[in-house]
Structure 1
């Protein structure tokens, strides 16, 4: 999926770079507020893709003494920064330009530039969106779109998909606003289109921020992975019970697993050690994304007493 993520980002980066240049050119010659907003939108998206590539590069850094679990969560941080930039720069500048052109409307000159650029932009953005959608669809399975976004641990895919969706919607809004501003002779409609684009960007930014927040503070592994781990342990006769199973994503393909297990009392310490080694090997073989497994040997009764004592302390 890492290569798939890069493919999606590079497709969006190439498309947005070309589109941003053409939009700013059209805005310069026509004075369109909506077109300027769209140019800013594409420029912000281009910067976002560079940040996502930076996040992927940083996330691949090997673990060290200061970060013993690696740098995988840096990708989540940079995805959150992307959401902030979309809101602050994309939505903020579009809103400012829209309000300014509503208060001080200016007629659009030579709108042919706008129509040509918007038409080409829709084709480029449509291509980038298709690449992102195909890559995202691979991981959907039987889940719905929104459920897949909520379950996804790779922010690069759904971030680019959201960005491209907002870009296509923004282009349509800009095209409609420019057309009616010219056709009806109401230049304020161009500014209104810019405000609508700002609202679209703000909505996407909020959705991205919510999803990235969950990843940043630590999300558990997919329920199917957790039930699979429990099934592996359930087939082990040397284990009496699973006291606790904790999982957390340290990156899209880096899962931490903590287990508290009640071992059979007849086992020797050497046999317990062999069982732990065997379980860790089988869990990692079944789920390659699980990089670290920590297993604690503890009786069910002792575990319950520890949990109860912790609950009393928290009160």
Structure 2
């Protein structure tokens, strides 16, 4: 089984940070009456629950294969990441926008904003630490020349890129909340504060759509990518026993679990024991190139062609 300690460290750090930050935000929101701060409290509380869901996904994905799931439970982490996306959209974005709209319709004067700024600054430090851990997790699979967004798009570890997307939205939300509070204080217009809440909600909706798109592709059977599939094809084609490679198909079954099927023609005249040795050699070569390839199938029609 893959070592998930790095992934879980990212999730645990996010849970601790968001839990402490949510409590502080709600307390200060109650004292100052800031709609933006209350929205940020909802945001952090939802994020805490979401990271707990990602832990459930990690635990489920590590279950060994059985008769009901012969290919294992690796896709469970994608399912729970999709649930997280729905949670960010409904509980995070929906409630935050509702709270902001209510504040716009029924504005209230903002109290002393000092503690708002203190909590926002502390939250930015904690969120930044969690964000940096998820960034380091993404960097492990980052290719030369790729930026962070391209790395997120290419990443197959939903737990890590889900935390990264959430924390990115959180950091932007903190800046928006601070701007809304500062504008309300500077202009004396209380509408800037709930308006910031609406903007934070829209940020969460955008993060939810991004996360849903990435996890949805993986859940329905995304390949490992054109470049890696081509590399696997080249490895198989280079073997001395292979006469022709018709196609190579791949599917990401989990963050560290790849299914590969290859339709090939072995050289004519090969004995069955030579075919068996060739398959074993190919399996070893492919797994040496990419240890995440746990299952490699050769189509039966290709095997029959070698015995004609």
2:182 pairs with 1:186: no
1:299 is displaced (CA, Å) by: 5.1
- Matching residue of 1:60: 62
2:97 pairs with 1:87: no
2:17 pairs with 1:12: no
2:223 pairs with 1:220: yes
- Matching residue of 1:158: 161
- Matching residue of 1:260: 263
- Matching residue of 1:46: 48
Q: 1:72 to 1:115 in 2, by over 3 A?
A: same
Query: How far apart are the structure 1 equivalents of 2:51 and 2:302?
Result: 50
2:244 pairs with 1:274: no
Which blocks of at least 5 consecutive residues in structure 1 are unaligned?
A: 303-315
1:177 is displaced (CA, Å) by: 0.6
Question: Matches of residues 223-238 of structure 1 in structure 2 within 5 Å?
Answer: 223-238=226-241
Which deviates further from its counterpart, 251-260 or 265-274? Answer: 265-274
Query: How far apart are the structure 1 equivalents of 2:123 and 2:293?
Result: 41
CA contact (8 A) 2:138 2:155 kept: no
Q: 1:299 to 1:111 in 2, by over 3 A?
A: closer
Q: 1:167-215, CA deviations, whole angstroms, 9 ceiling, x for partnerless residues? A: 1111111111111112211111111000000111111111111111100
Query: How far apart are the structure 1 equivalents of 2:45 and 2:236?
Result: 51
- Matching residue of 2:35: 33
2:294 pairs with 1:285: no
* Secondary structure at 1:298 match in 2: helix
* Secondary structure at 1:256 match in 2: strand
2:229 pairs with 1:204: no
* Secondary structure at 1:99 match in 2: helix
TM-score by length of 1: 0.92
- Matching residue of 1:310: none
Equivalent residue in structure 1 for 2:110, among 108, 111, 117 = 108
Which blocks of at least 5 consecutive residues in structure 2 are unaligned?
A: none
CA contact (8 A) 1:262 1:297 kept: no
1:297 is displaced (CA, Å) by: 4.4
Count of residue pairs the alignment pairs up: 302
Q: 1:195-248, CA deviations, whole angstroms, 9 ceiling, x for partnerless residues? A: 000111111111111111100001112434323322322232221101121110
Query: How far apart are the structure 1 equivalents of 2:65 and 2:239?
Result: 32
* Secondary structure at 2:240 match in 1: coil
* Secondary structure at 2:91 match in 1: helix
Query: How far apart are the structure 1 equivalents of 2:28 and 2:209?
Result: 29
Runs of 4+ in structure 1 off by over 6 angstroms are none
- Matching residue of 1:120: 122
How large is the RMSD of aligned CA atoms in angstroms? 1.7
Query: How far apart are the structure 2 equivalents of 1:229 and 1:198?
Result: 43
